Amino acid sequence: MEKLSPAKFAAKIRCCANDLQDHGVDRLGSLYDLTAQRLLRYAVTVTRNMSDAEDAIQATMVRIAMKPKILATAQQPWAYLLRVTRNEALRILQKRKPLQIFAQCRQLWARDSEIVEENDQAQVIRKALKRLPTNQSEVVVLKIWEDMTFAEIASVLDESPNTVASRYRYALQKLDSYLRPMTREDTNV
């Protein structure tokens, strides 16, 4: 995943949205290529499920393809895209609510029997993030992986910056407690 500066990334998104507006749906591919991976990473944090996250990305892209002007004129196009993705992900979760209880039971069971066999740092952190409540893990993803400010995250989540900041603090506190034992093990070895 190519790491662009936030300003460059926003400009590229705006460029893709303008292209989409001028030339129609056939130009959606460029926006998809630019954003899908990062959107997926965020969507998985919300849905906790790969297939639902992919559905959310698809719904987001279709929505943007229908009204590209909103994205092209948005003050923060990346924040807007993330917000649309979040709304779509929540809509999908809402639809699947009756089945969700089984998924949650399965997740809890998986969490208990979870043994981190891989030394892969990203895997370890992803699993630790999964253990956080969704509203905390999404703040961590947006803050650290998407390099957003608390104000920007607040606009994505439709919360106050103070709420976002406190969620981030709690999330880090929990992550620290989850990851510290592993770090100790690493150093002892």
Partner 1 sequence: MFEFEDHHSLEERLLQASAGSALPLRGDHRQQVLDAARQARSRKIYLRSLAAAGVFFLAVTMFFSMRDSVKTQSVASDHSPGWSKTIYVKGSQVLGISTAAPQPDAIKTDWNSVQATLKHSGEWGLVDAVVRFRNERAGTIEQIFHRGD
Residues that bind partner 1 (CB under 8 A): 1, 24-25, 28-29, 32-33, 36-37, 40-41, 44, 50, 53-54, 57-58, 61-62, 65-66, 120-126, 140, 144-145, 169, 172-173, 175-176, 179
DSSP H or E segment with residue 85: helix 77-95
The smaller minimum CB distance to partner 1, of residues 47 and 155, is found at 47
The smaller minimum CB distance to partner 1, of residues 37 and 105, is found at 37
Residue 125 C-beta: closest distance to partner 1, Å: 4
Distances (CA, A) of 89 to 11, 38, 56: 25, 14, 5
The smaller minimum CB distance to partner 1, of residues 33 and 114, is found at 33
CA angle 120–126–127, rounded 5-degree value: 95
Residue 61 C-beta: closest distance to partner 1, Å: 5
CA dist 150 and 155 (Å) reads: 9
Residue 28 C-beta: closest distance to partner 1, Å: 5
CA dist 164 and 85 (Å) reads: 18
